[in-house]
Structure 1
Amino acid sequence: MTVTGTWKLDQAVANDAKVYVHLPDHGAQTNTARYEVKTVSGWREKTVKQPGTGNRWVYIGTFRFKGNVPEVRLTNITTDGTGNQDIAYDAVAFEPGKWNTLPEIVIPKCNPDAPETEFIDNDMQKQPSPLGPAPLVLKAPQAPSSLFLNAPENCGETSQKGVRQCTAIDHNIGKYQAGSAQASSGWRQAANDAPLVSWCNEPSVTGYTLKRREGCHKLAVLTRWEKDGKTIGTAVFLVREETLLSNSASFEQRMFISPMSISPELGNVTLDYWDALCTANCSSSLSGSWSGLTTWTPAVDSHTASATRTFTWTKPTSGTSEEFDRGTILKFSAASPAAAGAVATKTPSWSFFDEIQCDNNLAVANSTGCVFAKHIPTWSASTDKYPPAAAYYWVMREGLASHPGSKKHGTPMHRLKDIKEQRKNCNTICNKTGTDAWVAHPEATPDDKGRVQCDEFPFAASEESGGQTLTNGGGCVQLYARQEPDDTWRLHEDENYNPPTWTEPCGRASMPGQDNMDAGRGPGLQGFYTKARVLNGKPFYIELPGYEGCTLTEVYVPRP
């Protein structure tokens, strides 16, 4: 038999109310008590675990009533009921108030003459070190001849019987620079090649760092020679790879090599072999010859040698893209007869996986180009041109539990290029009929043509759109934008829907039509997709200048 308990307040509630249910210390056994609350937009459900310690009040949520009489009901039918547990019916309490969870942001008036933002490739992102032989762990300064004691290495037989050459790499180059008598004062001393990536020379840039089209990789390459199991000598070189991509099927890599230390027992050490592997449909060739001598004398030479390789995507078929793995092979030879012999190998000294992405006629019409796939570009929205929309994006990015598009939280959005899917998302979240249909808030400020439109975030053109998981936009945070008499703007909760819990996957706002059409899907964002070559399904962050570094609890005018 179904038993339904109903609680109804004796008066209407003007705005919102927090709702609490009381649970006794006995007879409260079910874990799936299904409370329903009648709100301005219909019945809302909240499942409560009734078992607990002692008599207590349990908060079940804040609901919007907007002049209606609050009503709560509870039935003894549960999703997992077997008829052997009690369900408790006790008191219900309402705490009226305007429980606005939105920060009071004073949004500047718009500047219609402000330019659209342009993508500038200046975001350096540190990457995990490329794979290779494990780095050395040095607990104290060591002489060159003892650098490899107990170090993990990659060893290979040379052409001379009994002689082996072992290699390790280490991205902590500072410990080899300190106290080194042979280290050069600069990376390019005596090298005539100009840099491909100017910022790679900065001491603060270490390890493997990428911009969208520029890469910098710094490491120490340590080579040890041994004969019959006994070390002959060691050499440590600083290696630097600069990679420059472009809107082309070809890209360049420039390598700079200089010595840190060479054991005198080795005699002169020569760069015997430099090669670079590239996965299928990618070729590599040396461009010209080495600049600077590729032979170094122990304790004397500190010069830098450099050379350039050109990589080419060999099958740039229109409408396709590829991600390429790359590997670098470095081998040295020593002049000492005791360490003579070359190593024949095609195993990379270190490798980059899925590092470079090239496309033809996908990101940009009638264009071929390459970017670093592991670099996540950032779109900077125009907070001057579209102030209410930009403020709304920031509030959603910071307030939603998923933080869509947040670099700080490492939660990028992903481009959705399919027009049909975009329309489906838009029609789902901005549904104009059916349950929780979107209706423009009467106090929302229209654009110059009198238009107020539904603006969703995350964007309909992203894989994070609420339309991917919801059946209508009622499950989003509901807001509207209103312009004040002094031409500044405010964001307000739309009281025609339930107040936000900030566990929602999306936002839905009544926004000036022009802001909605241009800010999140117009020339600024499309231009970013083009310049950063963001393909379908690929990640990107969103940045809101003037708001970055602020928190939702602050009351402020966005910084200029």
Structure 2
Amino acid sequence: MLRRILLPALVTSTLLVGATVQSTASVADTADRRSASPTSQVPPASDKERLNGSATRSGPSEEDCTEAAERAARTATAPSSYSCLTQLTPAEGKAARVSSATAGRISASAALVAPLPVNDCTGDEDGSWWSTRTMQCQIDPNVKYTYRDSDGTVLGTALFATAQQLDVATNSLQWTETDQITMLSSTGTLPANLGVSWTTNCSATCTPRSTKPWVQTPIRDGQNLKTTYTLRDVPSTVYDYIDLDYQLSIGSPDAIDLLPPITWGGAEVRCDNKLSVLDKAGCVVPWYTPTLRVSRAQYGSSADMIEWAQNNLSGHWGLRGTGEPLHRLQSSSQQDSNRRAICGTTKFTADPAIQDDSCDEFPFAGTYESGALNGVDHGKDCAQVTAVRAGTTNDLALDWPIVTTAGMASGSEKCVRGHIPRSLNTDLGGAYGVFIKEVLLADDDPFWIRVTL
């Protein structure tokens, strides 16, 4: 997989542009001291998203098993029993589980179907990888074992489910993986000493490079095998993209395996040692796009300006389902240039009607979507809005909750510029700085932005 090589850079970003320029560190520290500090941006399991593309596992099919059994029966020089492990399609797996459950209800001698293994993918047992920024999981209930005699006649079958979960941390270069396999049901006769072998391989710079949770470990009908182990990144001077792949075999010394083990990949971890954030080393799931939540109750008209732009300007920046994600810009010098273009001291005049007026801009100067990087060299060419006063409670978010347009907006502008009370502007900049740290947002990493109540 071809990736941009990400190198360290100073971490500075702010939404406030004017006579005073604050770095992410100072703004974030200010936000941390506020009693209403931003809540954690690391998403819960309910916010997980599905990995597209090669998300589902592939492996030998039932047809492959039948053909291999026929070849073995024709060419065998001595009687032998055979077995093969196949990957069912989701539809085939579901039909197999329904058939086993039905058999269990109508036959006293048939075993009931065991429950699926449980992890943060429970409810999404489709064999696909799902993730948040700090978790990746999968449950695949579609693995079938078939046991045949020397003539190719099926003697017995077993249906298995596998489950995996990787839990990484943005403040650690090590993470855990928990793997499970359950024999859900069986039919007929299975060979003695049926066992599971599983290998996990991870690419450099991961250690250990190979882990074997089970080596011909016995398993019986209804049993769940489960193990947790630790993996670690050995940090380099660039971002470390670590791919993990897996190999599963189920068999017995009493039966010849007709097919190779099932193999799959799709799990990926990105780690860095103080590259995305200068004082932090940690790991994330790189293909998950996190969401910055911006509260109206905390940021008032500054939040409303973002929502106005997302809904009324054609860019719809960061609006999931309508626009494209924003992308973090890490270069402090480029951020400064972006600010000067939109809100330089010669390009913005404070409005005395706005309490402690400041120049607020969206998309942020600290993103690649900044108007200054997309053809705008003066903030007057952005859509213009101004905060509207609604009260005198000394709570700025309540007193200045919304914006109104100033002049005409065509909807095709590359940015919006607003007259916003300074603290609302600065504190929202602090929230973005905290967000960058919490989710280890690297240069050009995408993120969504959602305005909440």
Task: Give the structure with the higher percent helix.
Answer: 2
SS at match of 1:116: coil
Q: 1:105 — aligned with what?
A: none
SS at match of 1:349: strand
1:539 aligns with 2:449: no
Any conservation in 1 of the 2:59–2:87 contact (CA below 8 Å)? yes
Amino acid of the residue matched to residue 115 of structure 1? S
What's the CA shift string for 1:135-190, capped at 9, x where partnerless? 97xxxxxxxxxxx24899999x99xx8667353254565443324244554345xx
1:349 aligns with 2:263: yes
1:423 aligns with 2:345: no
1:494 aligns with 2:400: no
Amino acid of the residue matched to residue 385 of structure 2? L
Superposed displacement of residue 277, structure 1: 1.8
SS at match of 2:302: helix
Question: 1:476–1:383: structure 2 CA closer, same or farther, 3 Å change rule?
Answer: same
For 2:343 and 2:66, the matched residues in 1 are separated by 59
Question: 1:485–1:261: structure 2 CA closer, same or farther, 3 Å change rule?
Answer: closer
Superposed displacement of residue 270, structure 1: 2.7
SS at match of 1:363: coil
SS at match of 1:237: strand
Superposed displacement of residue 265, structure 1: 4.8
Superposed displacement of residue 407, structure 1: 2.1
Q: 1:255 — aligned with what?
A: 179
Superposed displacement of residue 267, structure 1: 2.3
For 2:85 and 2:400, the matched residues in 1 are separated by 68
Instruction: Please show how residues 374-393 of structure 1 align to structure 2 within 5 Å.
Output: 374-393=287-306
Q: 2:425 — aligned with what?
A: 516
How many residue pairs get aligned? The number is 388
Superposed displacement of residue 310, structure 1: 2.7
Question: 1:166–1:344: structure 2 CA closer, same or farther, 3 Å change rule?
Answer: closer
1:244 aligns with 2:167: yes
1:121 aligns with 2:40: no
What's the CA shift string for 1:351-395, capped at 9, x where partnerless? 116x21111112344432111111111111232222010111111
Question: 1:344–1:293: structure 2 CA closer, same or farther, 3 Å change rule?
Answer: closer
For 1:323 and 1:506, the matched residues in 2 are separated by 34
Instruction: Please show how residues 66-77 of structure 1 align to structure 2 within 5 Å.
Output: none
1:333 aligns with 2:251: yes
Question: 1:385–1:166: structure 2 CA closer, same or farther, 3 Å change rule?
Answer: closer
What's the CA shift string for 1:489-545, capped at 9, x where partnerless? 4412223xxx111122211111112222221x21x2211111111111111111211
Any conservation in 1 of the 2:304–2:401 contact (CA below 8 Å)? no
For 1:286 and 1:490, the matched residues in 2 are separated by 56
Amino acid of the residue matched to residue 274 of structure 2? N
Q: 1:85 — aligned with what?
A: none
Where in structure 1 are there 5+ consecutive unaligned residues?
Answer: 1-111, 137-147, 189-194, 547-560
Any conservation in 2 of the 1:405–1:540 contact (CA below 8 Å)? yes
Partner of residue 186 from structure 1, selected from 105, 115, 123: 115
Amino acid of the residue matched to residue 241 of structure 1? Q
Q: 1:525 — aligned with what?
A: 432
Any conservation in 2 of the 1:267–1:334 contact (CA below 8 Å)? yes
Q: 1:48 — aligned with what?
A: none
Q: 1:465 — aligned with what?
A: 370
Question: Percent identity at matched positions?
Answer: 23
Partner of residue 214 from structure 1, selected from 132, 135, 139: 135
1:320 aligns with 2:238: yes
For 1:456 and 1:333, the matched residues in 2 are separated by 62
Where in structure 2 are there 5+ consecutive unaligned residues?
Answer: 1-33, 77-81, 105-110, 393-398
For 1:313 and 1:494, the matched residues in 2 are separated by 52
What's the CA shift string for 1:98-144, capped at 9, x where partnerless? xxxxxxxxxxxxxx8533333242122222363542697xxxxxxxx
Q: 1:78 — aligned with what?
A: none
Amino acid of the residue matched to residue 508 of structure 1? R
Q: 2:385 — aligned with what?
A: 479
Any conservation in 2 of the 1:133–1:152 contact (CA below 8 Å)? no
Any conservation in 1 of the 2:49–2:288 contact (CA below 8 Å)? yes
Superposed displacement of residue 311, structure 1: 2.2
For 2:68 and 2:300, the matched residues in 1 are separated by 57
Instruction: Please show how residues 248-327 of structure 1 align to structure 2 within 5 Å.
Output: 248-268=172-192, 270-284=194-208, 294-296=218-220, 301-314=221-234, 316-317=235-236, 319-327=237-245
Amino acid of the residue matched to residue 199 of structure 2? D
Question: 1:403–1:134: structure 2 CA closer, same or farther, 3 Å change rule?
Answer: farther
Question: 1:475–1:268: structure 2 CA closer, same or farther, 3 Å change rule?
Answer: farther
Any conservation in 2 of the 1:166–1:225 contact (CA below 8 Å)? no
Any conservation in 2 of the 1:249–1:358 contact (CA below 8 Å)? yes
Superposed displacement of residue 410, structure 1: 5.8
Question: 1:231–1:209: structure 2 CA closer, same or farther, 3 Å change rule?
Answer: farther
For 2:99 and 2:125, the matched residues in 1 are separated by 21
For 1:508 and 1:154, the matched residues in 2 are separated by 68
Look at both structures and tell me which one has the larger radius of gyration over its CA atoms: 1
Question: 1:504–1:183: structure 2 CA closer, same or farther, 3 Å change rule?
Answer: farther
Superposed displacement of residue 462, structure 1: 0.6
Question: 1:349–1:410: structure 2 CA closer, same or farther, 3 Å change rule?
Answer: farther
Superposed displacement of residue 286, structure 1: 7.7
What's the CA shift string for 1:74-100, capped at 9, x where partnerless? xxxxxxxxxxxxxxxxxxxxxxxxxxx
Any conservation in 1 of the 2:386–2:403 contact (CA below 8 Å)? yes
Stretch deviating more after TM superposition (244-253 or 231-240) = 231-240
SS at match of 1:385: helix
SS at match of 1:381: strand
SS at match of 2:298: coil
Instruction: Please show how residues 140-179 of structure 1 align to structure 2 within 5 Å.
Output: 148-149=62-63, 165=84, 167-171=86-90, 174-179=94-99
SS at match of 1:248: coil
Any conservation in 2 of the 1:248–1:370 contact (CA below 8 Å)? yes
Query: What is the TM-score when the length of structure 1 is the normalising length?
Result: 0.61
Partner of residue 412 from structure 2, selected from 496, 500, 503: 503
Question: 1:472–1:226: structure 2 CA closer, same or farther, 3 Å change rule?
Answer: farther
For 1:410 and 1:284, the matched residues in 2 are separated by 41
1:440 aligns with 2:350: yes
Any conservation in 2 of the 1:133–1:154 contact (CA below 8 Å)? no
What's the CA shift string for 1:44-83, capped at 9, x where partnerless? xxxxxxxxxxxxxxxxxxxxxxxxxxxxxxxxxxxxxxxx
Query: What is the TM-score when the length of structure 2 is the normalising length?
Result: 0.75
Q: 1:130 — aligned with what?
A: 55
Stretch deviating more after TM superposition (485-494 or 508-517) = 485-494
Q: 1:407 — aligned with what?
A: 320
Q: 2:14 — aligned with what?
A: none
SS at match of 1:357: strand
1:235 aligns with 2:158: yes
For 1:164 and 1:492, the matched residues in 2 are separated by 71
